[in-house]
Amino acid sequence: MLRLLVLTSALLLTACAQTPPSSAEAAPQATACPAELPTTTRCLGGQDSAGAFYLIAMPADWNGHLVVHAHGGPFLGAATAKRIEEDLKRWAIVPRAGYAWAGSSFRQGGVAVRAAAEDTERVRQIFVRHVAKPKLTLLHGQSWGAGVAAKGAETYTAGKPYDGVLLTSGLLAGGSRAYDVRLDLRVVYQYLCRNHPRADEPQYPLWMGLPEGSTLTSAELARRADECLGLAKPAAQRTPEQARRLKTIVDVLRIAERSVQGHLNWGTIHFQDIARRSGGKSVFGNIDARYTGSPDDVALNAGVARYAADPAALARFSDDTDPTGRIPVPVLTVHGIGDPTVFVEVQHTFAATMAAAGRGDALVQTFTDESEHSYLNDATYVALLESLVKWVQAGAKPTPQQVAEGCERASARFPSRCRFVPGYAPAPLESRVAPRRR
């Protein structure tokens, strides 16, 4: 009987989590639109019952379709209206192309995927309840937000709230795999530089990001990276030792030189957030990871710090961040082959995840020959949206070649250089990031 009561309570809690209440949500209020939108666009905004700010953009020539947006990041700190305004500016192409757009700032900063998915679903419900009932709703996730969108699409299925999913430059290997490279950067960087932390500072396990109470700022971290690697200097002004260390990091970790500082920042401040959420237990490990590509791999592998993940903490983190692939609607993705922030190889992992869930036929992946992450180009996104709408409405599953052709047509309305590579297939993530036991 006790077991039955526990199971019933769990099911009730799950049902509540899957349907964020919208009845208590106040109606959005008229607000000024960003200058990047057409002047005829109507914008609405507000703060939801959980504390997240949101914006809605309604084009004058609305085609009846809604795009619900999950932003990248994750942003750290308290929710702000500015955060979601920046996203609407970046994705102005969506209302410019005739789609309504709705996005949430998320109620909290940090690596909390399920909570962000709930906030995203809440803004969809606000739109439907207070603004209009769309003919078709697409869920769009960008970067880290692609993981949020994937989690939301597999979680909120009752009543079919989403008709299709668009994932762009997505961190789709889940936190349990996609962040390994940042732990690897922390241990290799510390082996080479010995200044994060310095010898005279409190020592801590690097998976922690920073210890509680640390006052290290991003500006100070940049100064330390420049001190060791010469990142702030032109290549010709780096010392031979700085150039050697930087080349070692680039070669061993296979990351772009221009992205080293960003990954180091994320492996510091985001890791600190993750450690707090995991109760001070490690969700990362590199016990058996072997690093190659340095001038002396034997010395490197003997000298780097080694950590083991806590199984229970890793399981909780995976449950929050990792897609299951159980998305019941069509999924279309795009990724730049040279993306310096999220490796294109994560798409191989995501395809395997969808296939393992029996949803491989519901996925079409596209790739471009760009080395950008945050934004590709207008015609690319218009073509993806149009291809997804056609797939949903007519059952016409697109091929990568057809999406590329759609981009060429869209570029007549939204001048852009289309750079799709229809025949590209990503290698496994393990071919780029040192494999390890989970």
**How does strand 136-142 pair with strand 164-168?**
parallel
Answer yes or no: are the C-beta atoms of 66 and 127 closer than 8 Å: yes
Alpha helices in 293-427 (DSSP H): 297-303, 311-321, 346-356, 378-394, 400-410
Residue 2 covered by a domain: no
pLDDT band at 12 (very low <50, low <70, confident <90, very high): very low
pLDDT, one tens digit per residue, over 272-295 is 999 999 999 999 999 999 999 999
In angstroms, how far is the first alpha carbon of the chain from the final one? 36
The answer, yes or no, to whether residue 7 has pLDDT greater than 90, is: no
The answer, yes or no, to whether residue 13 has pLDDT greater than 70, is: no
pLDDT band at 23 (very low <50, low <70, confident <90, very high): low
Q: What pLDDT score does 6 carry?
A: 32
Q: Are residues 85 and 125 in the same domain?
A: yes
Pick 36 or 24 by higher pLDDT.
36
Q: Which domain holds residue 181?
A: 177-318
Residue 360 covered by a domain: yes
Q: Are residues 237 and 310 in the same domain?
A: yes
Domain end (from 281, 299, 318)? 318
Answer yes or no: are the C-beta atoms of 438 and 317 closer than 8 Å: no
The answer, yes or no, to whether residue 1 has pLDDT greater than 60, is: no
Q: Are residues 282 and 341 in the same domain?
A: no
Q: What pLDDT score does 156 carry?
A: 98
C-alpha distances out from residue 282 to 176, 209, 272, 307, Å: 11, 10, 11, 8
Average the pLDDT over 360-365 and give the result. Answer: 98
The answer, yes or no, to whether residue 10 has pLDDT greater than 80, is: no
The span from the CA of 198 to the CA of 58, in Å, is 52
Q: Are residues 195 and 166 in the same domain?
A: no
Residue 16 covered by a domain: no
pTM: 0.94
Average the pLDDT over 181-201 and give the result. Answer: 98
Q: Are residues 347 and 418 in the same domain?
A: yes
Q: Are residues 67 and 128 in the same domain?
A: yes
The answer, yes or no, to whether residue 438 has pLDDT greater than 60, is: yes
Q: What pLDDT score does 215 carry?
A: 93
C-alpha distances out from residue 5 to 14, 18, 165, Å: 14, 20, 36
Residue 105 covered by a domain: yes
Determine whether 386 is exposed, middle or buried from the number of CB atoms within 10 Å of its CB (0-12, 13-18, 19+).
Answer: middle
Average the pLDDT over 15-25 and give the result. Answer: 55
The answer, yes or no, to whether residue 21 has pLDDT greater than 60, is: no
Average the pLDDT over 343-364 and give the result. Answer: 98
Q: Are residues 338 and 297 in the same domain?
A: no
pLDDT band at 5 (very low <50, low <70, confident <90, very high): very low
Q: Is 139 helix (H, G, I), strand (E, B) or coil?
A: strand
Answer yes or no: are the C-beta atoms of 326 and 357 closer than 8 Å: yes
The answer, yes or no, to whether residue 59 has pLDDT greater than 70, is: yes
Residue 4 covered by a domain: no
In the chain, the percentage of residues whose pLDDT exceeds 90 is 93
The span from the CA of 280 to the CA of 348, in Å, is 31
Domain end (from 318, 348, 380)? 318
Pick 178 or 3 by higher pLDDT.
178
pLDDT, one tens digit per residue, over 68-120 is 999 999 988 889 999 999 999 999 999 999 999 999 999 999 999 999 999 99
Residue 13 covered by a domain: no
> CA 123, 128, 134 angle in degrees (round to 5)?
115
pLDDT, one tens digit per residue, over 228-282 is 999 999 999 999 999 999 999 999 999 999 999 999 999 999 999 999 999 999 9
Q: Are residues 382 and 409 in the same domain?
A: yes
The answer, yes or no, to whether residue 4 has pLDDT greater than 80, is: no
SS3 content of the chain, % helix, strand, coil (to 5): 45, 10, 45
The string of DSSP letters for 65-118 reads: EEEEEE--S---SB--HHHHHHHHHHTTHHHHTT-EEEEE--SB-SS-HHHHHH
The span from the CA of 170 to the CA of 323, in Å, is 11
CA dihedral of 180, 184, 189, 191, whole degrees rounded to 10: 150
Q: Are residues 205 and 300 in the same domain?
A: yes
Question: What tokens appear for 411 in the block?
Answer: 């570029």
Question: In angstroms, how far apart are the furthest CA atoms of the chain?
Answer: 73
Residue 6 covered by a domain: no
Q: Are residues 341 and 249 in the same domain?
A: no
CA of residue 325 relative to chain centroid, distance: 16
The span from the CA of 49 to the CA of 122, in Å, is 9
Pick 34 or 21 by higher pLDDT.
34
pLDDT, one tens digit per residue, over 379-415 is 999 999 999 999 999 999 999 999 999 999 999 999 9
The span from the CA of 128 to the CA of 162, in Å, is 12
pLDDT, one tens digit per residue, over 114-170 is 999 999 999 999 999 999 999 999 999 999 999 999 999 999 999 999 999 999 999
Q: What is the CATH number of the domain that holds 402?
A: 3.40.50.1820
Residue 12 covered by a domain: no
Domain end (from 286, 318, 350)? 318
Average pLDDT, the chain: 94
Q: What pLDDT score does 18 carry?
A: 52
Q: How many domains, the chain?
A: 2
Q: Are residues 297 and 310 in the same domain?
A: yes
Q: Are residues 276 and 327 in the same domain?
A: no
